[in-house]
A and B are shown apart, each in its own frame.
Chain A
Amino acid sequence: MGKVTPKSPLPIRIAALAICAGVGALLSRAVLAIPETESGLAPLVDANLEASGVKNAVTAVLLNFRGYDTLLEIAVLMLATIGVLSLSVTQKGTWDPIAAQADPVLSALARFLAPVMILVSGYLLWAGEHAPGGAFQAGSVVGAAGVLLALSGYARPAWISRFALRAAISVGFIVFIAVAIGEMIAGGLLLQYPADLAKTLMLLVETWLTVSIGAILVSLFIASASPAEELRMRSGGER
């Protein structure tokens, strides 16, 4: 399994092309053979939408019908962040400014945009109940706001401690697990929302998921950017 770069010898490139073409042909044949009438689980989802507590089918699937998948996916995100932090050469943590010197225009713009982005994310979170939106979209916007701030030279504010950052990264998963266990103690099964509380609990989970997804995206961005910065500083490079 050599790396396929322009420097690879011709036979390897031809072999790689042949493998890709073969898999491609197999996939095309397989996809074309799928009967067109099959509608999957959509009718089942529609039939149970009423009972899910929300009106948007995607949110119902993500948080309720297949909420267990989402629980594990948040674990994947959190795990990826812990992994990146553990591998980052400096291990210095998160949310240090990336740009050494702030561009005054950019930093003024970021100051203006960041609150708006937080507001947009709040809207997306709320809208997820009945329209496209939800924690993942809202969290992405929070994450983008954080990345923008970091790029504009804003450092982690002193009042956000290392512990608070770890808390922000893990709170989504912890609240999700806590809700799941709470439902079990209340007499249901794992992630079985009581009908009258379903909407409230899902919103609670999604709110904290938004916080965590935002913190995770910012941390991933900054932690994976830091080694390069470190190297540049070490080699005394000037821009």
Chain B
Amino acid sequence: MAEWIVRQLPALVILMPFTAAPLAYLLGAKFGRPIALVSALLSQPLALLLAIRVSRVGTLRYEVGGWGGPLGIDLVVDGVAAVMVLVTTVVGLFVTVYALGYFGDRERYRFFWPLWLFLWGSLLALFLSGDIFNLYVCLELVSMSAVALVGLTLSREALVAAMRYMLAAILGSLFYLLGVALIYGAFGSVDMQTLREVIRGDTTGQAALALMTVGLVLKTALFPLHFWLPPAHSNAPSPVSAVLSALVVKGSFYILVRLWVDVAQTAAFPGASTVLGVLGATAIFWGSIQALRQERLKMLVAYSTVAQIGYLFLMFPLVTGGGPAAADAWTGGVFHAVSHALAKSAMFLAAGTVLARFGHDRIEGLGGLSRRAPATAMTFGLAGVTMMGLPPSGGFVAKWQMIRASIESGQWWWAVVVVAGGLLAAAYVFKVLGPFFGREPEAMDEADLDPGPSPWTMEGAALALALGSLVLGVLGQPLLDLIMVSAPALVAGVTP
């Protein structure tokens, strides 16, 4: 039995939510809730086992159908894939627990459960896929479920945001698919391991990578293609906002990194990696400044995502040169994705608690929240520590690695961006924390406005994620090691 589980582990991880999803749809809301919770709980040991297994034996390769690439499709689990599966599974559990309280058993949200389980499974399938066409299917699954989840409230704003999101997402997918078609035409394979050997930076190869990069950048909402993100992420129901910002945008980013660093090797396209870095830096400034200007909490948090996505793209110019800088940039970038996932989902869940309790999320109307909802205010504060990158948070470790990579590679200007971004993050975090820990608005009749505390599961789930993002900085070493397990040749310093 144990041996069977170990052998089938990559498939089991994906099958758990994918088995639960159709059952949750078939059996309706009454059973959807327990099915989602059971699936979320059972996923935990599977993801943990996968991570332990990878850290012991290195890359796991699972040949679906028994054919093996390039004829069949392989699931490939290396360190970074295991880390992404782990963070998806942990965030997924707390979002599920939160959503049980948030949606209750309201009939109109019955579709949340199958859609969410499908999204969960799709993300895991994406992180484990070793085949660029299969990744396209995964991208479609992720977008399709995410768009439907954004529109779930059926409010006018949500539907408009969902529509805009869908158009951007489909356009992004099609650009990616065009690239896949070109690569298959020119190099005769869609299997990443095969492509690594044969892909060249010739006309077709470069055109394909350019198309795929544009598509994936659009889906990741990198400045200036971020226009769809703030309305979609802020108008979605809060558990959905949390998943979108924490995990979904990282899905397309993950494919981009795999393509550049793992398959094509950035060295072939040095100029483009600088462009991505510059766009990332611009995103940090633009997103932070926009966040500062927002009046509504969820919009502020959404713009903060635009800024935080920027950091991920600093990885590209820092990895290009190889050497120790590449390794630091690699671990820093992935670590940032992980700590941002925890902190940002905590923030959105906290914002959702506020919204559900007070019926609005205007920042100025939330004065003195720390006395009425101490756990929620604390959640926001702790998650804010990671956003700012203060020690001992996960965000600090990520930024430390990036700064080190900048110095090591002699590109000090990226370090300046990282530090300045942290200061800007402090500004928008304190814009929220100021009122939270300040006075209550004078002209407020508390009895009318406050229906009482939220279910403890909601506040607890958000707080747990925020604590997780903080603890990550102290207990981050095993995670840093795991990220480097079977890292791409460019990063690991092995000459390919």
Residues of A within 8 A of B (CB): 1, 23, 26-27, 29-31, 33-35, 38-41, 44-45, 48, 64-69, 72-73, 75-76, 78-80, 82-83, 85-87, 89, 91, 163, 166-167, 169-170, 173-174, 177, 180-181, 184, 188-193
List CB contacts (< 8 Å) of B128-155 with chain A: 133-134, 137-138, 140-141, 144-145, 147-148, 151-152, 154
List CB contacts (< 8 Å) of B1-53 with chain A: 8, 11, 15, 18-19, 21-23, 25-26, 28
Chain B residues with CB under 8 A of A80: 144
**Does B208 lie at the interface of the complex (its beta carbon under 8 Å from any beta carbon of A)?**
yes
Bound-complex Cα distance A89 to B208 (A): 40
Chain A residues with CB under 8 A of B62: 189-190
**Does B396 lie at the interface of the complex (its beta carbon under 8 Å from any beta carbon of A)?**
no
A67-B203 CB under 8 A given contacts A31-B182, A44-B71? no
Provide the B291-313 mask, 1 if CB < 8 A to any CB of A, else 0.
Answer: 00000000000000000000000
A71 closest partner in B (C-beta): B18
A-B contact pairs, 24 of them (CB 8 A): A26-B207, A30-B204, A39-B188, A41-B189, A44-B70, A48-B67, A64-B67, A65-B65, A67-B65, A68-B65, A68-B72, A69-B134, A75-B18, A75-B118, A79-B115, A79-B145, A82-B148, A86-B148, A86-B151, A87-B154, A166-B25, A174-B26, A190-B65, A192-B66
Give the dominant DSSP class at B's interface. helix
Give the dominant DSSP class at A's interface. helix
**Does B270 lie at the interface of the complex (its beta carbon under 8 Å from any beta carbon of A)?**
no
Interface-centre pick from A38, A177, A189 (highest chain B CB count, 10 A):
A189
Contact present for A177 and B65 (CB under 8 Å): no
Which of A30, A86, A87 is in CB contact (< 8 Å) with B207?
Answer: A30
B8 closest partner in A (C-beta): A184
Contact present for A1 and B227 (CB under 8 Å): yes
A188 closest partner in B (C-beta): B66
Q: What 15 new A-B contacts, CB under 8 Å, besides A1-B168, A48-B71, A170-B26?
A: A31-B185, A65-B72, A66-B65, A66-B73, A72-B125, A75-B121, A75-B122, A76-B140, A78-B25, A79-B145, A83-B144, A83-B148, A87-B151, A163-B26, A192-B65
A190-B64 CB under 8 A given contacts A27-B178, A29-B207, A68-B73? yes
Which of B19, B133, B134, B147 is in CB contact (< 8 Å) with A83?
Answer: B147
User: Which 10 residue pairs spanning A and B have beta carbons closest together?
Assistant: A83-B148, A30-B207, A86-B111, A192-B66, A190-B11, A33-B203, A170-B22, A68-B64, A72-B137, A40-B188
Contact present for B188 and A41 (CB under 8 Å): yes
CB distance from B447 to the nearest CB of A (A): 35
Contact present for A82 and B11 (CB under 8 Å): no
Contact present for B154 and A69 (CB under 8 Å): no
List CB contacts (< 8 Å) of B157-182 with chain A: 159, 162, 168, 178, 182
Bound-complex Cα distance A193 to B115 (A): 29
Bound-complex Cα distance A86 to B112 (A): 9
Chain A residues with CB under 8 A of B154: 87, 89
CB distance from B205 to the nearest CB of A (A): 9
**Does B186 lie at the interface of the complex (its beta carbon under 8 Å from any beta carbon of A)?**
yes
Contact present for B202 and A33 (CB under 8 Å): yes
